[in-house]
Amino acid sequence: MWADDIDVDLPVSLRVMTDDRAGILASVSSVFSSNGISISEASCLSKDGRAENMFHFRIGDIDRLREIMRGVAKLKGVIDVERV
């Protein structure tokens, strides 16, 4: 949980459900990099034309996290984005 008066990066995990297509991981990771976020761990599992992608990273504030989630959700081929 973030507090307004504390400057700390907290660990976060996002589950991103996507179509299983070439280039989707590059598109998703570009949202992270354009927001200055380094992904510390990622995993992908594809089945039946869909992919479940897990991204683990650290981030300093909830507004920035929301911005990343909105940016990923707007991408073509993204079905769902949720914090886990």
Residue 67 lies in a domain: yes
Residue 61 lies in a domain: yes
Q: How confident is the model at residue 4 (pLDDT cuts 50, 70, 90)?
A: low
**Burial group, residue 22, by CB count within 10 angstroms (0-12, 13-18, 19+):** exposed
Q: Range of 61's domain?
A: 22-83
Percent of the chain with pLDDT over 70: 92
Phi and psi torsions of 18, nearest 5°: -140, 165
Residue 17 lies in a domain: no
**Is residue 3 over pLDDT 60?**
no
Secondary structure of residue 79 in the 3-state scheme: strand
pLDDT digits over 34-65, tens only? 999 999 999 999 999 999 999 999 999 999 99
**Is residue 20 over pLDDT 70?**
yes
Contacts of 64 (CB under 8 A, 6+ apart): 35, 37
Number of domains in the chain: 1
CATH of the domain at 69: 3.30.70.260
Q: Where does 1-84 show beta strands of DSSP type E?
A: 10-19, 39-47, 50-59, 78-83
